[in-house]
Chain A
Amino acid sequence: MSSADTLEAFKRDGRIVIVGASLAGLRTAEALRDKGFTGSLTMIGDELGEPYDRPPLSKQVLTGWVPADGTVLPRRRDIDAEWLLGVPADGLDLATNHVHLADGREVPFDRMLISTGVRARPWFVEAEAALDGVFVVRTREDAEGLQQAMAAGPSRVLIIGAGFTGSEIASICRERDIAVTVAELAPAPLVGGLGAMIGEVAADIQRAHGVDLRCGVKVTQLEGDAQGHFRRAHFDDGSTVDADVAVVALGGIRNTEWLRDSGLAVGIWGVACDAGCRAFDLNGLVTDDIFVAGDVARCPNPIYEYRFISLEHWANAVEQAEIAAHNMLSAQADRWPHLSIPTFWSIQFGINIKSVGVPTFADEVVVTQGSVPDHRFVAAYGYQGRVTAAVSFNNAKWLDHYRQLIETAAPFPPPCPTPDTPADAKPVPVDFPGPTLLAQGATVVVTGHDPGERRVTAMRQHR
């Protein structure tokens, strides 16, 4: 039988299992059916219910406009799948091609997709995280709980972490006229994603909206009352804040623990894969039947020196789903690379913040058009003299222009495309906090001498 016959047989009668039934998993399933896959399709997810959209959870749901169960994703088509929901996968056996579920079931496959995404990083002291009034926001249950706590009229909300999610929630608090304190370890909000210059703009905006913004401080303790309700937070500078609600917005943890013994290249950074969404094994060899998409995928991007980049972006999940589905059903020569330029948005304090490219891949930033004091501008990011990213505040219509500059490696700083050239358009250092990933320690050891014997083994961290 030729490989073309094998592929046709797989498309007709093969078994595909998708682990992670959220945006990336659902869109991959739809695309597989669209592209003519008629075999069996199994959707595995640890949450009950149909796939739902998460971005509205920190916006429309928290304002009280949309109920938390009202963000179920629209379907582009019937996917005729078997759904195994409410049970997480807890293992993957690549020798026999089975996914293990936490309830003991084993699900066989010919090809599979890993789209298990990210979970919220919890507060680091378990007993304090368990206090009433302490929330994270990732699932619809999280959002429902926080919405109810906000509706109950808290004296003050404390938000720990001024990244995008924390800043969006602070914005909702002010919209609902709730007093809010934001605590951030970095010198300004959004610094980790967008650098110091934009961070200063974000800080001004938060303060102008009445946020009690405290930067360069660390929350050291969440204190509860006798009833186990959060009441007070302690900071490392000795100060305290009294509040009824604390929102822990310290980013996410990629859901890769279940793959620890799988022999795939996994770690805190996600599951490494090629530009076609095929997973790498522990040795760095590409696999044929295991694919990755969405927040958990870590994929090389040729535009950015082939560096492995993982992105917790909505559009990235959608685009990788399309690529993964196509490649699952294609022979090697017909496979597509995922070559799109990352895009991201955040809505806060009445401002539409959007980005294109990878702002952290930059050494300089310059405001290229518009006005920073008016909060309507575009800033371009450059690395070694070429444009690598752009961020817009209420100026989204121009981002496509910057996407083209990035794709063509246009020189940095780029000229202003409009008459509203800013008066002092001078590039400044982009100034990101240090690369924390460099401090993680060893993850593997190499054994063997002959090229035919040399193999990588995962190291268990004893910490």
Chain B
Amino acid sequence: MKVVVDLSRCQGYAQCAFLAPDAFRMHGEEALMYNPNPDDVQREQVLRAAAACPLQAILVDQLEGRDAPVEATPS
């Protein structure tokens, strides 16, 4: 699954790192490092982390779970 965190919004509350520790890790006291492409088995955890973020800074792909867009094939 695809994930991006708006780190200009992130304030290091670390809720995501508690809820989905395989995808979100704290680097030092308040910097967040995350996996932008976590394994699908982490999907539930990642969605819970995204929902719990106090800044709503975590975006999860909205197209997933449906057919992948064919539009991105290079011509």
Contacts and interface: CB of A to CB of B under 8 A. Distances in A.
A78 interface: yes
Contacts of B31: 347, 350-352, 394
A interface residue count range (under 10 / 10 to 19 / 20 to 34 / 35 or more): 35 or more
Contacts of B62: 74-77
Contacts of B36: 53, 56, 60, 66, 70-72
Interface string A342-376: 01110101111010000000000000000000001
Interface string A39-53: 000000000111001
B8 A345 contact: yes
Contacts, number: 110
Nearest to A350: B28
Contact of B71 (A67, A82, A395, A397): A82
A83 B35 contact: no
A314 interface: yes
B11 A78 contact: no
B27 A350 contact: yes
B44 interface: no
Interface residues of B, number: 33
Contacts of B2: 72-75
Interface string B59-75: 11111100001011111
A280 B19 CA distance: 48
B59 A394 contact: no
B49 to A, nearest CB: 14
A345 B28 CA distance: 15
B30 A86 contact: no
Contacts of B64: 74
Interface in A160-198: none
A314 B6 CA distance: 8
A70 B35 contact: yes
Interface in B1-20: 2-4, 6-12
A456 interface: no
A332 B4 CA distance: 33
B28 A352 contact: yes
Contacts of A70: 35-37
Contacts of A81: 71
B61 A83 contact: no
A85 interface: yes
A354 B60 contact: no
B3 A83 contact: no
B37 to A, nearest CB: 4
A27 to B, nearest CB: 11
Nearest to A70: B37
Contacts of A77: 62-63
A204 to B, nearest CB: 16
A318 B59 CA distance: 13
Contacts of A326: none
A396 interface: yes
A65 B60 contact: no
Interface in B23-75: 27-37, 59-64, 69, 71-75
Given A74-B2, A75-B61, 5 more contacts: A48-B74, A84-B75, A352-B27, A352-B30, A394-B28
9 contacts: A48-B74, A49-B72, A72-B2, A75-B61, A83-B74, A315-B9, A352-B29, A396-B10, A396-B12
Counting from the closest, the 6 A-B pairs by CB-CB distance are A350-B28, A70-B37, A74-B61, A352-B31, A315-B8, A74-B2
